[in-house]
Structure formats: C-alpha cells, structure tokens
Structure 1
Amino acid sequence: MSELIERALRTSTDTKAVLAEPGAIARIAEVYRTTFPGRTALVVGDERTMTVAGDAVLEALRAGGVDVAEPHVFPGAPELYAKYENCELLRDAMSGQDVVAVAVGAGTLNDIVKRASGELGRPYLVVATAASMDGYTAFGSSIAVGGYKQTLDCPAPAACISDWTVLAAAPAVMTASGYGDLLGKVTAGADWILADAVGVEAVDPDVWELVQGPLHASLSRPEALAAGDLQATGELAEGLIMSGLAMQAAASSRPASGAEHLFSHLWEMEGHGVDITPRRLSHGFKVAVGSVAVAALYERLLERDLSALDIDAAVAAWPSAEQIEARVRADHQPHLADEIVAQSLAKYCDADALAARLSRLASIWPALKEKLTAQMIGAAELQRMLRAAGAPAHPYDIELTWQQFRDTYRRAQMIRKRYTVLDLVLEANLAAELVDELFAPNGFWGKQS
C-alpha cells in the first residue's frame, strides 16, 4: 500500500484498512481478522466474480483461520443489476446470520452489499475485481429504485482489498470505465476552484490533495492501461481508491464530482444506457463523455474577459424562482420534476446576491482564470486520452442523439444543488451563447457533428 493511501486512511471516517498490491487476496485473512475479530465472513459474489476472485477469497479466508458461511452467489451479468430488490434480497438473507459481508465484485456488487449492510448497521469488506469506478471506498450506493438510479445513503466499507493482478486481468472495457470516472476529477477540480472563488463552497486543501495529488500520474498511461499493464492498472486503482477516501474525509462527493457527473446523473436518472448491449452503459463511460463536454465549455468560458462582464445585463436577465421552477417542469419528466425543482431552488440566489457574486467574480477573474487554466486539460486532449484507454469520447459513442446531448448542457444544471460551471455561465447570462459557439459549424462539437 502506498504512502498516499496510508495518509488518506488517517482522515477516512469508515474505511480503516486498504490492501492494494499484486497478490493482495492471499493476505485477505489478516486484514479481515484485524478489522472484524471473531466475526464470521459471508462472501457475496455473482457467478462470474466467484470464478475470477471469489473462490480464491474463500480459500484464503479459510486458510487464514476465518470462519466462513456458505457464500451468497447472485446470477451473473447481464442479469445482475444494482436495483433495490437485490439489496433487499441480500439484506434478508444476512439478517438471520451474524455475519460480515465480503463483497467480491465491481460497482454492482459493491453497491448492493454496501446498501444491504448499511441497512443492517453492519460493516463490510470489499474485494475489487476491476478498476472500474471510484465507489469502492466511497460512502453511498448507486441503486435503481423504481427503475431510476439514485444515491442511497450508507457507509463506505471498513476494509478494501485491491489485488492488481485481478484488476489487470479484468475486461478492458471495465478498466476503461474506471479511467473515464477518474478523468472526471479534472473538471470536478475546476468546478471546486470555481465554487470556492465565488464563495459557495471552500476548497479543503488536505482533501484536495488526496484526489488531485495523484491524479495526473494515475491518468498518464492510457495506452498501457488498454494493454493490461500491471503497474498502470495499479496506478489507476490507487487514484480511484484515493478519490473514495477523499469523499469520506470531506463527508461529501464534492472532491470527485462536478458538472461532468451532472451530465452522467441526468442520463442515468432517465435510464439512458440500461438497454445498450452487450453491456449496460457504465457510469464511467457517461462521465467520460460528460468530462469532454464540460472541458469544451470551460475552453469557451476561459476565452472571455469576465472582468468586463456586464453585470447589470446579467442581473436583468436573471429569472425569478417561479420562472426557474417553470423551466424545470418544462424540461424534465413529471415523476422527476419535484425533486429537481427542490435541488434547483436550493442553490437559487436573488438578484442582489447575484449582483454581489458577479461583482466578486469580475474582480478576481484574472487570478481565477489562471488557476482554472492550470487545472484544466483541453477537451481535444481529453478525447485523445480516453480513446487511447478504450473509453468513449463523443456522444455518439454512448448512443446519445445530437439534440439530446446539446440539451444536456441546459438540463444538467438543474438536477443538483452543487455549484458548477453550468451555474456560473447561467448566472453570467452566457450559457446559451457559449453552447451555441460549441455547436456552431466551426465550434468544438460542430466540427464533430
């Protein structure tokens, strides 16, 4: 385990042990005994993950003197889905046993076990089988309730095992998904800088370093990742683990999630990608395209001199709270509209507060522009990196229509109260103009239409 992870564990609220190295599964018993002394282990996997790692986990636990219950094995993909019914199924199976769950799998298995264990008030351990997302060490579980994905509250795992040998052997599409999820921290970082600068949400320097410190090294070798290189996979896994630990330290997803995740969340809420074959569209792949979209918007924004912003015109154009609600209801499905209205109004400010915010923005713009420019990677370069890793980099790659994708720039701003560049350009009365530029014939997206 690296010094970075050791340092992050000192501030994590839930996760107390991480073992990240080649062959880590062979040492799982010592981690389990230390973390859950005297407790019986219940290995939870699906038909595929049991073959990949679950059987080895069972053998290592038994050999290390851990009492092991009969494993709980779900059907394999594509049948297994992170829906609430599966959480209930596992929770009910566990409730009659005094066991600690050992999740063996990636996003779906981890989310199911995390929520089921959380509802029972029990800790759990996760064994990663792919470097596919940053949720292994994050709190909260992405679960479909009534057919629509949402984040349900529950603690992060008490321990995480990341065996690089297993991760490097995972399907390339899963590693590419993890790369897309991690790459989103570039734009998420820019959004946090922005929120800090306008006085909405301060940057915590220690938490910032947990994510942004190892980020560029973790993203630096996409070609090696696509080839299944062990060291490159380990570096990616470390970045993903650090992201989850940072969210624990911040008690928020802010360190790892910005406007690029709003793009992804909107598509997930509306069920986009559930029916794509042969594999459901992953969270990381949606974040990948969202990251390029947001980077392209930042490029257009950073070409503006906001120190000369027409604040009076922006305030005059600012909609009322009632108009905001009407826009939300016009733009979103009726069963989602009430919650989206609540999120939009939670971050709404009146005209006086807007004028003060924009005045502050104008006064600090030269220094803020410099910070944002240093944080960002160009949209075209992000596309190159994603394609080298085998991840999507264009809306067509994830089967979005052109209009659906363009509309996301407007609609994604509404769905969460988190302040991002989507809010800033709306407040500055630049949103429509900048998006038009992106989709103009000579614009970033117009040239790719």
Structure 2
Amino acid sequence: MSKVEQALKAANETRALRIGSGILNEVAGLFKEQFAGRKAVMVADVTTYRVAGERVEKELRNANIELLPSFIFTDSDLYAEYSYVDRLVESLKVHDAIPVAVGSGTINDLTKLASHLVGRRYMCVATAASMDGYTAFGASITANGAKQTFSCPAPQAVLADIEIIKKAPKPMTASGYADLFAKVTAGADWILADWMGVEDIDEKAWSIVQDGLHDALSNPEGAVAGDEKAVSQLIEGLMLGGFAMQWSKSSRPASGAEHQFSHLWNMEHHLNQGEHVSHGFQVSIGMLAVTAFYEQVLNTPLEKLDVEACCAAWPEPEIADKVALDMFVGTDFPTIGLQETKAKYVTREQLAIQLRQLKEYWPEIRERLSKQLIPYKEVKQSLRQVGAPVEPEQIGITRKRLRETFVRAQFIRRRFTVLDLAVRTGYMDQWLDGLFGKGKIWEITD
C-alpha cells in the first residue's frame, strides 16, 4: 500500500485523491463517483480558469453533469481574506451545487470555508504544488486583520494533474517546496513539545508527514524544472502534510515556529515593493531562520541549565499579561498576544517540572533533534536551487525586523515551539546574538 493510500485510509474527510500525469479528463468521473446526481459549480480566478478551468467545464458538461455558471474571482489582488469568503457564500446560498475549486492555496481556502458555511462538501482540482493546504483540515484566512485558521473539513475529493502542475510558475513550485521543507523544523518543534510534556506526538500524524519527507525534498532543481518525478514527489509530500493535519484536526504536524513568522508578517500587512509575499516564500525565510536558531540551541549545554534561576526570573501572570498587551499596541490585533500567551502560561512550579525534564534528558533530546534537523547550509543550498528566497531582504524584511520577529512571533500562537523554549530557559537574547551579532549570519550593522 502506497503512502497516499495509507493516508487516505486514515483520513476521515477526503475520500479520494488522484495524482497523475494527464488525468484532467478524469475530473468528471471523480465528481460522479463522489457526488452522484449533484449539480456542479466551478470556483476559480481568472488565471486558474484559463489554465484548467475551461477544460474542467468542458469535461463536466461532456459527462452530462449539470453545471451552473462558474464563479470567477476577477480581483487582481485576490488573497485569502474573509470578505472574499462572504462573496462566495452569498453566491453559493442561491443554489445547492457542489463547488469544484480550480486553483491552489487562495482558491482552495476560500472555497473550503465558504462550502462549510453553507453546509456543503466540495472538490478541488489542484493547479500548482504551492502549499500543503489542499487536503488539510481548516482554512487559513485573514479576518479582522489577523491570519486565523478556521475549522472546516478538507475537500471530499482532490485531483492533481502533474501535466498542469509542472507548468505552474516557478515561484509557485519554489513556494510549495519551502512549505514542504518547513515540516522539518515543525517536526523539531513537536519533538521539543513532546519531551517537555506539553504536547504528545501523535504517531500516526507524525508518520504520515515525516516518512518519506527527505525523499520528497531530494531534487529541488528537478522540481522547479518541471521534472515529472520530482514534481510528483513534491505534490505527494504536500498532500501528505495535509492528510496529517486532517487526521489530527490540527496544523501541529506541519506547522511550527517558521509558520508563526509568516502569520505575523501577514498580520502586519507586510508587502515587498507593494506586493504580497507568498506564504511559501515567507515560510522559506522563517524556516531558514528557525534552522539557524536551532543550531544555537543544539550548541548550548542545557544539561547544565540553572532551573532555579530560570524559575526566579519567570514573570508573575500580571506582569506577563502586561508584556503581552504592550507587544502589539497600535496594531489592529492588540489583544492576540494576551489571548495566546495566557493559554500557554505556566506557573513557576510547572516551569520547574518542564525545565528539569529538559535538563535531565537533554543529551537524548539533542540527539533526536539533530537527526530531525537538516544543517543550515544544506537548507540554504536547497532553497536557493529551487528558487526560494534565502535572505530576509529578498522578501522585504530587514535584519532588524527579522530579529524582532523571533520575539514577537512567540506571542501570536499558543503552540509550543523552540521560541517558547528560548523564553522559558532565558536564552532568547543569547541565541539571537549568535545570529545577529558582529560577524554572524545576519549581522545588524545599522
């Protein structure tokens, strides 16, 4: 049984996934298999309609599936923002057709949430290997200025035609490659959370996303060049990441501190020369930064950690709350820091238990992390080969802002990551100095 077949067996929302070359002509058969007797309505944007949507319409009509007029987003700056969900919901309310999302991240997330809000399942036709959300539980949508994950089921069926996907713009493939690579650091964060008794590793979800991950990342040049095998491995790896999230009803298997960097920059409405930066390109820098940060962690003798000193320096709840509120003054998300850090705050007694566990088992933890992580120089080389950004300036992030992001990102999610380890051990500044100090990777000179 293949990895995809095993993941499908574990999935409780997606019932069918087809990946292959030249299989767009199977879209009608897949629709009939999953939604027998139902009407269809295609959802796309101007580009994805041209790339695959017209063909999908033709295939559905030729199979005598009743097809309603397609819903085409014509906005040039379309992104996963809640107002677009509202527009799609209003359209879906006037009929009972099954949405067929033709596109990648934005179209899939908008359709996923809108379909859920009208009480309907949907189908997705993937057009790029650009992210891992196709088969994931939940939709990542910006609402009230903050990037949020809304609970909603994954598509009932997904079709990925490699002939279409391999012709996607190279930056989209590079974006997906970076998003897949992020499963390495996300896994490291989960290892930490597990060892410190914060969140146990779900072995099924871990296996789905981590087994075969290195193989899927092994040919960055082939992926961006459109090599069929490399693109197939990439899209399969991304789909498996989604299945792991679907299985666990959480993004934990595929998302760690590196994604918090991306979410924060989205919340801050970051633009590079007036343009939105793709999720994968943000994650590329976040993941590279977290990888370098982990190398600082692994070079620290935490078996000698002064637990008592850490606990003495740990703030009382009132002080911690004030720091969290002060962190985002003047933003359009002023209370998120308080909300999220309150959810993961521990007492000094609880902190002592966690840190003693860390101290006692640090040699074993360090060994497990070392096996999970890929060296910074190798990560950077692979990202460069695929065409993903490897310096913060490439996405309009200054080195000063990157350093600040390490601190600020820890406040926006309750999920335990290496950033929380840095805060709880009191090593944040020292480890950041190891990255941004004189002569270091991202020396700040101004």
TM over 0.5: yes
Which one of 240, 259, 262 corresponds to residue 261 of structure 1?
259
Once residues 57 and 91 of structure 1 are traced to their aligned partners in structure 2, the CA distance between those partners, rounded to angstroms, is: 22
Deviation at 1:79, TM superposition (A): 3.2
Deviation at 1:333, TM superposition (A): 3.8
Query: Match of 1:103, as an amino acid?
Result: A
Equivalent residues in 2 for 1:156-235, closer than 5 Å: 156-235=154-233
Deviation at 1:82, TM superposition (A): 2.1
Q: Give the match for residue 54 of structure 1.
A: 53
Which one of 273, 278, 285 corresponds to residue 282 of structure 1?
278
Once residues 138 and 297 of structure 2 are traced to their aligned partners in structure 1, the CA distance between those partners, rounded to angstroms, is: 33
Once residues 205 and 384 of structure 2 are traced to their aligned partners in structure 1, the CA distance between those partners, rounded to angstroms, is: 29
Once residues 360 and 46 of structure 2 are traced to their aligned partners in structure 1, the CA distance between those partners, rounded to angstroms, is: 59
Unaligned runs of 5+ in 1: none
Query: Match of 2:422, as an amino acid?
Result: V
Equivalent residues in 2 for 1:95-106, closer than 5 Å: 95-106=93-104
Query: Match of 2:25, as an amino acid?
Result: A
Q: Give the match for residue 38 of structure 1.
A: 37
Q: Aligned pair 1:440/2:427, yes or no?
A: no
Give CA deviations for 1:375-414 in whole Å, capped at 9, x if unaligned: 0011221111111100011111110122111101111111
Q: Give the match for residue 378 of structure 1.
A: 375
Once residues 259 and 33 of structure 1 are traced to their aligned partners in structure 2, the CA distance between those partners, rounded to angstroms, is: 41
RMSD over aligned CA atoms reads 1.6
Equivalent residues in 2 for 1:11-410, closer than 5 Å: 11-75=10-74, 78-273=76-271, 276-277=273-274, 280-334=276-330, 335-410=332-407
Tell me if the contact between 2:221 and 2:386 (Cα under 8 Å) persists in the aligned partners. yes
Once residues 349 and 127 of structure 1 are traced to their aligned partners in structure 2, the CA distance between those partners, rounded to angstroms, is: 44
Give CA deviations for 1:104-127 in whole Å, capped at 9, x if unaligned: 011111111111101001000011
| TM-score computed with the length of structure 1 as normaliser | 0.96
Once residues 231 and 280 of structure 1 are traced to their aligned partners in structure 2, the CA distance between those partners, rounded to angstroms, is: 30
Once residues 262 and 37 of structure 1 are traced to their aligned partners in structure 2, the CA distance between those partners, rounded to angstroms, is: 41
Tell me if the contact between 2:270 and 2:276 (Cα under 8 Å) persists in the aligned partners. no
More displaced 10-residue stretch of structure 1: 222-231 or 282-291: 222-231
Identity of aligned residues (%): 43
Deviation at 1:223, TM superposition (A): 0.9
Deviation at 1:276, TM superposition (A): 4.1
DSSP-derived class of the 2:212 partner:
helix
More displaced 10-residue stretch of structure 1: 367-376 or 307-316: 307-316
Q: Aligned pair 1:419/2:416, yes or no?
A: yes
Tell me if the contact between 1:176 and 1:390 (Cα under 8 Å) persists in the aligned partners. yes
Tell me if the contact between 1:344 and 1:415 (Cα under 8 Å) persists in the aligned partners. yes
Tell me if the contact between 2:42 and 2:100 (Cα under 8 Å) persists in the aligned partners. yes
Once residues 52 and 84 of structure 1 are traced to their aligned partners in structure 2, the CA distance between those partners, rounded to angstroms, is: 25
Query: Match of 2:164, as an amino acid?
Result: V
How many residues align? The count is 445
DSSP-derived class of the 1:337 partner:
coil
Once residues 145 and 345 of structure 2 are traced to their aligned partners in structure 1, the CA distance between those partners, rounded to angstroms, is: 29
Deviation at 1:224, TM superposition (A): 1.0
Give CA deviations for 1:332-375 in whole Å, capped at 9, x if unaligned: 14431312211101111111111111111111111111000000
Deviation at 1:61, TM superposition (A): 1.7
Deviation at 1:67, TM superposition (A): 2.1
Once residues 356 and 77 of structure 2 are traced to their aligned partners in structure 1, the CA distance between those partners, rounded to angstroms, is: 53
Tell me if the contact between 1:29 and 1:65 (Cα under 8 Å) persists in the aligned partners. no
Deviation at 1:24, TM superposition (A): 2.2
DSSP-derived class of the 1:149 partner:
strand
Unaligned runs of 5+ in 2: none
Tell me if the contact between 1:148 and 1:271 (Cα under 8 Å) persists in the aligned partners. no
Tell me if the contact between 2:399 and 2:444 (Cα under 8 Å) persists in the aligned partners. no
Tell me if the contact between 1:117 and 1:123 (Cα under 8 Å) persists in the aligned partners. yes
Tell me if the contact between 1:83 and 1:147 (Cα under 8 Å) persists in the aligned partners. no
Tell me if the contact between 1:95 and 1:120 (Cα under 8 Å) persists in the aligned partners. yes
| TM-score computed with the length of structure 2 as normaliser | 0.96
DSSP-derived class of the 2:123 partner:
strand
Query: Match of 2:4, as an amino acid?
Result: I
Give CA deviations for 1:178-218 in whole Å, capped at 9, x if unaligned: 01111110100000011000111111112111111121111
Tell me if the contact between 2:336 and 2:411 (Cα under 8 Å) persists in the aligned partners. no
Once residues 387 and 333 of structure 1 are traced to their aligned partners in structure 2, the CA distance between those partners, rounded to angstroms, is: 36
Query: Match of 1:164, as an amino acid?
Result: I
DSSP-derived class of the 2:334 partner:
helix
Once residues 72 and 411 of structure 1 are traced to their aligned partners in structure 2, the CA distance between those partners, rounded to angstroms, is: 39
Query: Match of 1:350, as an amino acid?
Result: T
Query: Match of 1:321, as an amino acid?
Result: P
Query: Match of 1:308, as an amino acid?
Result: K
Query: Match of 1:291, as an amino acid?
Result: M
Once residues 419 and 80 of structure 1 are traced to their aligned partners in structure 2, the CA distance between those partners, rounded to angstroms, is: 32
Once residues 117 and 239 of structure 1 are traced to their aligned partners in structure 2, the CA distance between those partners, rounded to angstroms, is: 25
Deviation at 1:447, TM superposition (A): 9.0
